[in-house]
Amino acid sequence: MQDILHEIVARKRLEMEHLYAKKPSLRQALLQSQTGIIAEFKRRSPSKGWIKEDGRADTIPLSYQQGGAAALSILTDQSYFGGSDQLIRKARLSGVTLPILYKNFVIDEAQLYAAALCGASAVLLIAACLSKQECRSLLDKAHQLGLEVLLEMHDERELEYAELEPDLCGINNRNLGSFVTDVEHSFRLAELLPRDAVKVSESGISNPRTVSQLREAGFRGFLIGETFMKTDNPGQTLQDFIDQL
């Protein structure tokens, strides 16, 4: 019995090493990429319902990697987006080695542990969901767990959160209250962010020309989901999109 106990404890130590181990860097992947595309696995949305109810996390994320994505984003909220932490595990088991963004509405440290355990590289923190102190606390904890932070902002009032020096600064072009999308948000707010911030434009991007224009405005990451997921072959659609850049 004692030998089995030692074996179990040794395995648990390896699991904890994995929890705290350095993950693939989303920040570095975007800085080094020629495209900067964060391809998103998104099965459902509150505004449009099911986008791809039968979308499989053991095939689509890997097809994104093969199609040239710089990184991936996987929705893990179950109630409104049809996601789960298991989707990231399935993507990793399928062979995905790219950085994966754990995309959810993170409000508690427990979600950060969940993100680290399922194989994410970074987590999304949304300024609209958190006080500045809450955001600072979660950002610090994420870093302790070896996770990077993409801090999402939507308007001028939230730009003060950039003072917390997240790994990446995101501008969400979609209003989370009305779900109205306007890419002009990114162009307008980019120049108000810190000069050295790694900027990510999120939502509403459906044209390669828009990506090129956003890159000229200083963005290095472009989170795109529905444009790919609504098609029969998301990975091929991504590859065709990249070919046009």
Are the C-beta atoms of residues 139 and 164 closer than 8 Å to each other?
A: yes
Q: Which pairing describes strands 148-153 and 168-172: parallel, antiparallel, or unpaired?
A: parallel
Q: Give the pair of three-digit tokens for residue 229.
A: 């997921």
Which helix (H) or strand (E) covers residue 149, if one does? strand 148-153
Residues 100 and 74: beta-carbon distance below 8 Å: yes
Q: Are 147 and 22 in contact (CB under 8 A)?
A: no
Q: Is 184 exposed, middle or buried (0-12, 13-18, 19+ CB in 10 A)?
A: exposed
Give the whole-angstrom CA distance, residue 56 versus residue 54.
6
Q: Return the DSSP state at 39.
A: E
| Catalytic positions | 40, 42, 103, 152, 172, 202-203
Cα separation, 112 vs 145, whole angstroms: 8
Beta bridge partners of 224: 39
Greatest distance between any 2 Cα atoms in the chain: 65
Residue appearing with tokens 């505004």? 47
What whole-number distance in Å separates Cα of residue 71 and Cα of residue 138? 22
3-state secondary structure of 199: strand
